[in-house]
Structure 1
Amino acid sequence: MLPRLVPVTDIKRKATDIIAALQRDQEPLVITEHGREAAVLMDVVSYRMQERKLALLEGIIRGQQAMAEGRTLSHEEVLLRTAKWA
């Protein structure tokens, strides 16, 4: 699905209606200026979900890098290290 394009002048004139549509539809809008893409506007719920997904992906990448660099522990080593927390 292609993002909806909204001219910046519409944002200025119809901000309340546009925000209501964002919250209802939870689909980001691409704001255009002089006919070119300039920014993206999205509802807060979708933004926070996207941030959580990004944090998860970054954690996976860090884990892959650790594995590639040999910075891993065996199951037994993890149990020994975490036993002191119990």
Structure 2
Amino acid sequence: MRIELVMTLKRQETKILAELHSSKEPVLITEHGQPSAYLVDVKDYEFMQQRIKILEGIARGEQAIKNGNTFSNQEAKEKMNKWLK
């Protein structure tokens, strides 16, 4: 991962963005020596957001199982048939 100062980003934004798009490597932007933000390619960001949604769905399913909020196979089929009509 590349690390750039916020001042460098301000001065060389076109170059940094071009390198970001070609390498797909995130850029960590720092201010006063501290991490401030990540600069990532749009497609990579959207891909990460989609993965997060999938993982959140899996986590909700695992929590439902722990809480006993499950259906038998037959109950699930009946609910799906009603829902799909």
Q: Same fold (TM over 0.5)?
A: yes
| SS state at 2:68 partner | coil
Segments of structure 1 that go 5 or more residues without pairing to the other structure are: none
Q: Does 1:63 align with 2:61?
A: yes
Q: CA deviation at 1:16?
A: 0.8
Counterpart AA for 1:25 = S
**1:32-83 deviation per Cα after TM superposition (whole angstroms, max 9, x unaligned):** 1122211111110110011011111111110000000000011100111122
**Which of 2, 5, 8 is matched with 1:7 structurally?**
5
The residue that corresponds to 1:33 in the other structure is: 31
More helix by share: 2
Segments of structure 2 that go 5 or more residues without pairing to the other structure are: none
Distance 2:16 2:41 in 1: 10
Counterpart AA for 2:70 = T
Q: CA deviation at 1:11?
A: 0.5
Q: How many residues align?
A: 84
Q: Percent identity between the aligned chains?
A: 39
CA-atom RMSD in angstroms: 1.0
Distance 2:4 2:81 in 1: 56
| SS state at 1:27 partner | coil
